[in-house]
Amino acid sequence: MDQKALFNISYGVFVLGAKTEEKVNACITNTFVQVASDPLRVTIACLNRNYTCDMIKKSGTFSISVLDQSCTFDTIKHFGFQSGRDVNKFDTVAYDTDAYGNPYVKKEACSLFSCKVLSSQDLGTHTLFIAEIEDARVVSDKPPLTYSDYQTKVKPKREAAATDKKIVGWRCKICGYEYKEPVLPPDYVCPLCGHPASDFEPIYAD
C-alpha cells in the first residue's frame, strides 16, 4: 500500500470547541465532514488522547469554527500544539459561544457550527462522532482554508537540511510537535497526533 495516496485526500481545517463544567477548550482538526443531507448529518473524528475528545464525550455537543485563508500559523500553534489539560487556551483569545457554551473563535473563521452528538464509535486512535447541526452561520466571505493550503502556505517552510549542523531536537511533520532531545527513540510516538518516529524531522542548532 502506498501511504502517500492518503496525502491526496482533501480536508478543511477547523477549530473544534468543547465545554464542560470545568472548562472551555478547543483543538485543531481536519476531520469535520458533512456526510448526509436529509436528515443533515456531520461527523468529526477526534483523537482519543485529546482533552477535547474527553470533553465531547462528557457534554455530547461541540462547536466548529471553519478557519479561513487569513488563518496564521500562530492560531494553529495556539490551538493545535498545546493541550487544554495544561493551559486555558481561551485566556488569551476572544471568543463567542453557541447555545451550549462551546467556544467559537472570533477571527480567521468563515463559518460556525453548533453540533449535538447522536452516536459515536471508537476507532482506536480516534473516536468518530456522528452529529446533527443545531446552528450554522456564515461570518465572513473569505474562502475556507484547506489542509493543503495549510501545508503549503501557512506552515513555516523547513530550512534546507545542513548535515554539518548539530541536531538539537525533532519536529513532527504532521502536527509540528517538538521533541526537545537530540536523539529520538525509534519507537517514539507523537503525543499530539499519534504519528511514529518516521514522521519526525530534525531540528538543527542555529
27 binds Fe ion (CB under 5 A): no
Report the residue count for the chain.
206
Give the total of residues touching Fe ion (CB under 5 A).
8
Extended strands (E) in the chain: 14-19, 24-29, 33-37, 40-47, 61-67, 95-97, 103-105, 109-122, 126-138, 167-172, 178-179, 200-204
Interacting span for Fe ion (CB under 5 A) from 49-57, 61-69, 91-99, 195-203: 195-203
Nearer to Fe ion, 80 or 103 (CB): 80
β-strand partners of 25: 18
175 binds Fe ion (CB under 5 A): yes
52/25 Cα distance (integer angstroms): 7
47 binds Fe ion (CB under 5 A): no
190 binds Fe ion (CB under 5 A): yes
Nearer to Fe ion, 34 or 151 (CB): 151
Q: Taking Cα atoms as reference points, which of 168, 186, 169 lies closest to residue 178?
A: 169
β-strand partners of 105: 95
Grid cell at residue 60: 455530547
Nearer to Fe ion, 111 or 127 (CB): 127
177 binds Fe ion (CB under 5 A): yes
Grid cell at residue 191: 503525543
Euclidean distance between the first and the last CA atom of the chain, given in angstroms as a whole number: 38
Interacting span for Fe ion (CB under 5 A) from 105-113, 121-129, 160-168, 175-183: 175-183
Out of 79, 193, 200, 203, point to the residue binding Fe ion (CB under 5 A): 193
Contact between 61 and 117 (Cβ < 8 Å): yes
Q: Residues 134 to 173: which contact Fe ion by CB under 5 A?
A: 172
Interacting span for Fe ion (CB under 5 A) from 22-30, 107-115, 159-167, 189-197: 189-197
Interacting span for Fe ion (CB under 5 A) from 4-12, 22-30, 69-77, 183-191: 183-191
Grid cell at residue 89: 487556551
Q: Report the nearest approach of Fe ion to the CB of residue 177 (Å).
A: 4
Q: Which residues form the interface with Fe ion (CB under 5 A)?
A: 172, 174-175, 177, 190, 192-193, 195
